[in-house]
Amino acid sequence: MEVKDLTPQIVWRNFYSLTQIPRPSGKTQRVAQFIADFARSHGAEAQIDEVGNVFIRKNATQGYEKRAVTLLQAHMDMVPQKTKESNHNFDTDPIEAYVDGEWVTARNTTLGADDGMGVAAAMAILEDDTVEHGPLEILITRDEETGMEGAFGLKPGMLKSKYLLNLDSEMEGEITIGCAGGEDVYADMQYLPMNVEPDGMLAYNVAVKHLHGGHSGIEIHKGYANANKLMARFLFAAVNMRIALLSSMHGGNMLNAIPRDCEVVVVVPQKDKQTFLELVAKCRETFNVEYRDVEGKDIEFDATPCDMPQTIVPVEIQENLINALMTCHDGVLRYIPTIPDLVETSCNLSIVDIDNGKAKVTLLARSSQDSMKQYLCNGLLACFSMAGMHVSLEGAYSGWQPNPASRLVDIMVEAYERLFGNRPVVGACHAGLECGIIGAKYPEMDMASFGPTQLAIHTPDERVNIQTVQKFYSFIIEILKNIPEE
């Protein structure tokens, strides 16, 4: 069966349309125009604001005019991740989505159900004249995945809604009412490369690849290997054994994705070739002992002869950089003391680029506690400053604090029990959702987040469960029908 023919067809057809429009973060102009044109074609008002968000208004259905205004909110961009074998160009190529048993997934790339499924559901509500609802606002933001720029750029006073339904959660049967805050950490420096003396030297490309990866918020507690950290461990050993000199390092490509791949080019004295290759084999063995069970497969860690580079990183700078990568925190720092199953504070060593006289390291710090987030960021600042790097902290946002008196959550729980006969789980998550940013601009707005079941978010294994999409859409319809009057 084709993706666009699945049930409910009105949602899947719109999702399929989104897969045909390239929309990686930072390249959302085309999909924004598509969504705005779609809304207008179905009789709604639509505009693209100055930061690139799509804002839509739809009138109430007959008899529901006095209901409170409700906002459906999702983001249009997707995380562009692919396998090493894939030639997919996220700037030009459509996503090849297909049905795989009970799931929809994509061929060798991320699927974009995060948050294409939320956008498709909002489009379906615009299109579906059988849905009973009060006055609706729909906000589709840009670049949520790379700093929530659309939410940050939202102007106060634009929205009139009393209730916000965020369509960007990843587990059907759960209602999210709180999330972690975050802050981006950037460390960079310039250095004068040293020329390589090639006599008696060999060059190798060392690569760790095809790790599980994953969402650096909702999957950070699973203990998946970070490719940048594994490579730092190898380099630390090789440099301290005096059997390798670093020329370049490239690992990770997205701020909020656990890095799946990392490659370095090193120069090795010919006399130390055997010792070097034995170290590679030892690291491969060690990493597999540590991570095979959690990764679910053997870790690929190999050294391949390559062309001799022209330059290397000066020895002192090389050691400082590697020491910093070894020392900086990665993974869970603390669980919430009163909710020991929920991560409070974590860090993702997201991207490392060292080459040609420039070094840049990018990390994402998350915490539901502002003071702990500051503690973590200060630790990263101290770590990379000691390596001689300039460190900047950007894009800070506070967590979304749960509202225990939420009328919206009561409505949603009652609606879910009527539809499905059981009570949904209500709680918080460690991911960053736009609700916290929007809530800071509209503090009186009552909000909650939910969605269909999605797995392996931010990886080429991303998939969405078909059956839960039907429940997700039915749930939206039931909530809208039961929004109270002002």
Kindly report the number of other CB atoms within 10 A of residue 364's CB atom: 24
DSSP per position, 406-439:
-HHHHHHHHHHHHHHSSPPEEEEESS--THHHHH
Kindly name the residue from 77, 114, 115, 344 that is annotated as catalytic.
77
Kindly report the number of other CB atoms within 10 A of residue 207's CB atom: 21
- In this predicted structure, what is the pLDDT of residue 62? 96
Tens digits of residue pLDDT in 279-297: 999 999 999 999 999 999 9
Q: Is 143 a catalytic residue?
A: no
Kindly name the residue from 115, 127, 143, 144 that is annotated as catalytic.
144
User: Residue 323: which residues within 8 A CB-CB, separation 6 or more?
Assistant: 236, 387
Three-state secondary structure string covering 252-273: CCCCCEECCCEEEEEEEEHHHH
C-alpha distances (whole Å) from 389 to each of 38, 273, 314, 360, 474 are 47, 32, 15, 9, 52
Residue 95 CA to residue 77 CA, distance in Å, equals 13
pTM: 0.87
Question: Which domains can be identified in the chain, with CATH numbers?
Answer: 3-180+400-481 (3.40.630.10), 183-397 (3.30.70.360)
- In this predicted structure, what is the pLDDT of residue 147? 86
- In this predicted structure, what is the pLDDT of residue 469? 98
- In this predicted structure, what is the pLDDT of residue 135? 98
- In this predicted structure, what is the pLDDT of residue 337? 92
Q: Is 143 left (phi over 0), alpha (psi -120 to 50) or beta?
A: left
Residue closest to 475 by CA, chosen among 110, 48, 172: 172
Per-residue pLDDT of the chain (486 residues; tens, 9 = 90+): 899 999 999 999 999 999 999 999 999 999 999 999 999 999 999 999 999 999 999 999 999 999 999 999 999 999 999 998 899 999 999 999 999 999 999 999 999 999 999 999 999 999 999 999 999 999 999 999 988 999 999 998 899 999 999 999 999 999 999 999 999 999 999 999 999 999 999 999 999 998 999 999 999 999 999 999 999 999 999 999 999 999 999 999 999 999 999 999 999 999 999 999 999 999 999 999 999 999 999 999 999 999 999 999 999 999 999 999 999 999 999 999 988 899 999 999 999 999 999 999 999 999 999 999 999 999 999 999 999 999 999 999 888 988 888 999 999 999 999 999 999 999 999 988 999 999 989 999 999 999 999 999 999 999 999 999 999 999 999 999 999 998
- DSSP letter for 217, please: T
Q: Is 77 a catalytic residue?
A: yes
Residue 346 CA to residue 256 CA, distance in Å, equals 12
- In this predicted structure, what is the pLDDT of residue 398? 85
Burial bucket for residue 464 (CB in 10 Å: 0-12, 13-18, 19+)? buried
- In this predicted structure, what is the pLDDT of residue 432? 87
Residue spans of alpha helices (H) in 20-89:
29-41
Residue 404 CA to residue 410 CA, distance in Å, equals 10
